[in-house]
Amino acid sequence: MTNKPVLVADGELPREGGAARPVVDVAVGVLLRPDGSFLLTSRPPGKVYEGYWEFPGGKLEAGENVEQALRRELQEEIGITIGAVQSWKVELVDYPHALVRLNFCKVFDWSGELQMREGQGFAWQSLPVSVQPILPGTVPVLAWFAEERGLPV
């Protein structure tokens, strides 16, 4: 078995904490509508990569698994309660500020109206996306969608 390469974001910048820094686990919700469109949110003001577009989610807290963290984060950040969660893919991304393991989960069922509780924007998108800039860790998901849908990557 070969190890999948790490996606390096902004490789010209120094890495905080050096090479031995811990991996931060993040639960990421890929909300999908029946028409195939998906939800992207912008990084809130004051956060690293402010204004970049990503799939919503957040860090796992002590004792949480990915699904528990995703349920909590989507309630806290965008005000929805999600139904079933389908684990999908995992991507390790080396950002200058952190080494992050993104645990992507597809979500087809949720309740509640979207409420951007951190001052972020949101946009329902399809391929190709019309919002910019895209957070580096989000880019592989767009390629996975293209592959699933038989579109050029």
Which domains does the chain show, CATH number per domain?
7-148 (3.90.79.10)
- pLDDT at res. 3: 65
- pLDDT at res. 5: 72
- Split the chain (153 residues) into runs of 10 and give each run's mean pLDDT: 76 86 96 97 95 98 98 98 97 95 98 96 97 97 95 84
- pLDDT at res. 127: 96
pTM of the model: 0.94
Q: How far apart are CA 67 and CA 101, in angstroms?
A: 14
Q: How far apart are CA 18 and CA 146, in angstroms?
A: 34
| Contact predicate 119/125, CB 8 Å | no
Q: Report the b/e string of 133-143 with b at 16+ CB within 10 A.
A: ebbbbbeebbe
| Contact predicate 107/151, CB 8 Å | no
**CB neighbours of residue 100 within 10 Å:** 20
- pLDDT at res. 1: 46
